[in-house]
Amino acid sequence: MRYLDLDIKTINEKLKTKEIKPIDLVNEAFKRIEETDLNCFITLNKEEAIKQALELEKKEVDNILFGLPIAIKDNIITKDLRTTAASHILDDFIPIYDATVISKIKEKNMIIIGKTNMDEFAMGSTGETSYFGNTLNPWNKSLVPGGSSSGSAACVAARITPLSLGTDTGGSIRQPSSFCGLVGLKPTYGRVSRYGIIAFASSLDQVGPITRNVYENALLLNVISGYDKNDLTSSKEQVKDYTSLIGQDVSNLKIAVPNYYMSDTIDKTVRQAVLDVIDLLKEKGCQIDYVDIDYLEYAIPLYQVIALGEASSNLARYDGVKYGLKVDDFKNIDELYKNTRTEGFGNEVKRRIMIGSYILSGENANIYYYKALKLRKAMTDSFKKCLAKYDLIIGPTNTDVAYKLGTKQDDALKSFYDDLLTIPVNMSGLPALSLPVGFKNNLPIGMHIIGNYFEEDKIYQLASFVEKELNLDLNIKEVK
């Protein structure tokens, strides 16, 4: 019996009846890590996890996520548990505080199995920029799992843990979820506290759940949402029960499909999978219209200016003084900085912070950065206009399915183009989810569902309907 293949509700019942104990789940998770060998984790929390599981035996099963193993992306700060952001520059960093989302998870007595592999500082779309080596896609080990939340996606797909947390700055939850056949949500900007998230781009970063199905995704969102005094950008908007619209009738939903999302740039099979869903929804009685949203075609340069500008500033603190990599070869402070950072950062990160520094330097700030902030406003207004008329926007999550490891690694633009369809959502701060809706060559295809601000519940409503109707088999028979 593999308990971790069961749905959360069933596991919860078995925990309540004491048919299984948290330690059984923990042992199984660590056994699966060895069996699958996907390089999902940078740091395992084995000793603590076992200790916690045994302590939980004395406690009452007081919530549906009680005792469940969870995996945490390694750019989320965990007290006393090494947190590296997959970078050499932080490879011995032991945090002295917990991120707010970690405190919330601990309150629910969930068990952290380990810190998952990722692209260095969440910069990348394949998992390959990690200092700790790339993660493998459990659907096919020769393929990328997507990124930057590569380990968080791979470990849920391989059924090592039923749940994981990722972060999404330009698509880093949705794209690997799509490549691994999972449900991944980037919540509304401000829905989840960023306190304790190692910042990449402060105005775009958001933490979100990666799960096997829609319902379980909503359960985890319920736990991590909410205002936090430690994050001034977190929202005081009332936290909903995000499962509440699941199973509700969808026939009254008005749905928009941006023409840009169905253009020739998108793989034909991927488009067809979305078209099939559109047909299904039309049949159900949903109003579906093709629309234009302005400036989507500028999403990538827009992202490069804003995300990389912010990143160059956010990563300035890694200077070898207060924490992080120690180099011994320097004659003065400037050499200490340069030698630490040159040795500590990988190529993708270096490239990005160089670009970011440049576009903010001198007159460039006015030419590029402020222009980008205005363009961002204009694009957001266009989204708002659309969402004033429609409940949801749908399209593909990605231009294609998972591809071979090592593809076009020297192409500096590739990682950005992978996020072509996901970036606009971060720019505007909207919530969006990726849902598996089909296969191409036995690899999962993700559909993108974008909602209005703080209407994650409506996204789940539609997603759960489609999930139920399609009833895809997303269990990987054998990881090879």
Partner 1 sequence: MKPTIGIEVHVELKSMAKVFSLSKNNFNDESNTNINVIDLGYPGVLPRLNKGVIDDALKACLALNFNINRLMHFDRKNYFYPDLPKGYQITQQDTPIGYDGYVEISNKKIYLERMHIEEDTCKSLHTTDTLLNFNRAGVPLLEIVTKPCISSGKEAVEYLEKLRETLLYLGISDVKIEEGSMRCDVNVSVSDTDELGTKVEVKNIGSISNVGVAIDYEIQRQEELLANGEVIIEQTRRFDDKSKTTILMRYKETGNDYRYFPEPDIPYVYIDDEWIEQIKREMPVLTDELKDKYTKLGINNNNIKTIIANKEICNFFETVIDDVNPNIAANLLTGDILSYLNKHFIKLEESKLTKDNFIKLVELLDKKTISSKQGKEVINILLDTGKDVLEIVKENKMEQISDNSLVLDIVTKVIDANPDSVKDFKEGKDRAVKYLMGQIMKESKGQVNPGLANQVLVEELKKK
Partner 2 sequence: MIKEDKVKHIADLAKLNIKDEEMAKYQIQLTAILSEIDKILKVDIKEEEIMISPSTNQNVFDEDKIEQHLPKEDMFKNAKRVKGDYIIVPKVIE
| CB 435, CB 471: distance < 8 Å | no
Q: Is 428 in the site for partner 2 (CB under 8 A)?
A: yes
Q: Is 263 in the site for partner 2 (CB under 8 A)?
A: no
Q: At closest approach, how far in Å is the CB of 309 from partner 2?
A: 10
CA 318 to chain centre: 24
Q: At closest approach, how far in Å is the CB of 247 from partner 2?
A: 30
Q: Is 332 in the site for partner 2 (CB under 8 A)?
A: yes
Question: Which of the residues 130, 149, 164, 172 is marked catalytic?
Answer: 172
Kindly indicate which of the ranges 43-51, 96-104, 162-170, 267-275 contains the residues binding partner 1, using the contact rule CB under 8 A.
Answer: 96-104
What's the start-to-end Cα distance of the chain, in Å? Answer: 21
Cβ-based burial of 366 (10 A; exposed 0-12, middle 13-18, buried ≥19): exposed
Kindly indicate which of the ranges 27-35, 42-50, 82-90, 154-162 contains the residues binding partner 1, using the contact rule CB under 8 A.
Answer: 82-90
The site partner of 198 among partner 1, partner 2, none (C-beta below 5 to 8 Å per kind) is: partner 1
Cβ-based burial of 414 (10 A; exposed 0-12, middle 13-18, buried ≥19): middle
Q: At closest approach, how far in Å is the CB of 205 from partner 2?
A: 11
3-state SS class at 116: strand
Q: Is 230 in the site for partner 1 (CB under 8 A)?
A: yes
d(CA 441, CA 214): 24
The site partner of 440 among partner 2, partner 1, none (C-beta below 5 to 8 Å per kind) is: none
Question: Which of the residues 148, 150, 177, 193 is marked catalytic?
Answer: 148
Among residues 131, 170, 121, the alpha carbon closest in space to that of 352 is found at: 121
Kindly indicate which of the ranges 10-18, 101-109, 114-122, 344-352 contains the residues binding partner 2, using the contact rule CB under 8 A.
Answer: 344-352
Distances from the Cα of 424 to the Cα of 126, 139, 261, 432, angstroms: 19, 28, 11, 10
Q: In sequence order, what E strands does 69-196 have? A: 69-73, 111-116, 163-168, 183-186
d(CA 234, CA 292): 30
Q: At closest approach, how far in Å is the CB of 428 from partner 2?
A: 6
Query: In this structure, what token pair is assigned to residue 106?
Result: 């601990």
Q: Is 270 in the site for partner 2 (CB under 8 A)?
A: no
Q: Is 412 in the site for partner 1 (CB under 8 A)?
A: no
Q: Is the peptide bond before 148 cis (omega within 30 degrees of 0)?
A: yes
Among residues 244, 178, 240, the alpha carbon closest in space to that of 399 is found at: 178
Q: Which of 324, 346, 395, 451 binds partner 2 (CB under 8 A)?
A: 324
Kindly indicate which of the ranges 118-126, 170-178, 276-284, 327-335 contains the residues binding partner 2, using the contact rule CB under 8 A.
Answer: 327-335
Interacting positions 213-242 with partner 2 (CB under 8 A): 229, 232-236
Among residues 472, 435, 461, the alpha carbon closest in space to that of 173 is found at: 435
The site partner of 326 among partner 2, partner 1, none (C-beta below 5 to 8 Å per kind) is: partner 2
Instruction: Report the residue number, 56 or 90, with the smaller CB distance to partner 1.
Output: 90
d(CA 205, CA 198): 9
Interacting positions 335-354 with partner 1 (CB under 8 A): 337
Please report which residue ranges of 80-168 form alpha helices under DSSP H: 100-107, 150-157
- Which sign, positive or negative, has the C-alpha torsion 214, 218, 219, 224? positive
Q: Which of 61, 288, 373, 470 binds partner 1 (CB under 8 A)?
A: 373
Q: At closest approach, how far in Å is the CB of 333 from partner 1?
A: 6
Q: At closest approach, how far in Å is the CB of 386 from partner 1?
A: 24
Interacting positions 56-75 with partner 2 (CB under 8 A): none
Instruction: Render the burial of 167-181: b for 16+ CB within 10 Å, e for the rest.
Output: bbbbbbbbbbbbbbb
Please state, as a whole number, how many other Cβ atoms lie within 10 Å of the Cβ of residue 470. 17
148 has catalytic annotation: yes
Q: Which of 6, 239, 291, 365 binds partner 1 (CB under 8 A)?
A: 365
Q: Is 403 in the site for partner 1 (CB under 8 A)?
A: no
Number of residues counted as binding partner 1 (CB under 8 A): 43
Strand pairing category for 392-396 and 254-258: parallel
Q: Is 266 in the site for partner 2 (CB under 8 A)?
A: no
Q: Is 369 in the site for partner 1 (CB under 8 A)?
A: yes
Residues that bind partner 1 (CB under 8 A): 76-77, 83, 85, 90, 93, 95-97, 99, 194-199, 202-203, 229-233, 309-310, 312-313, 315-317, 319, 321-323, 333, 337, 357, 360-362, 365, 369, 373
Active site residues: 73, 148, 172
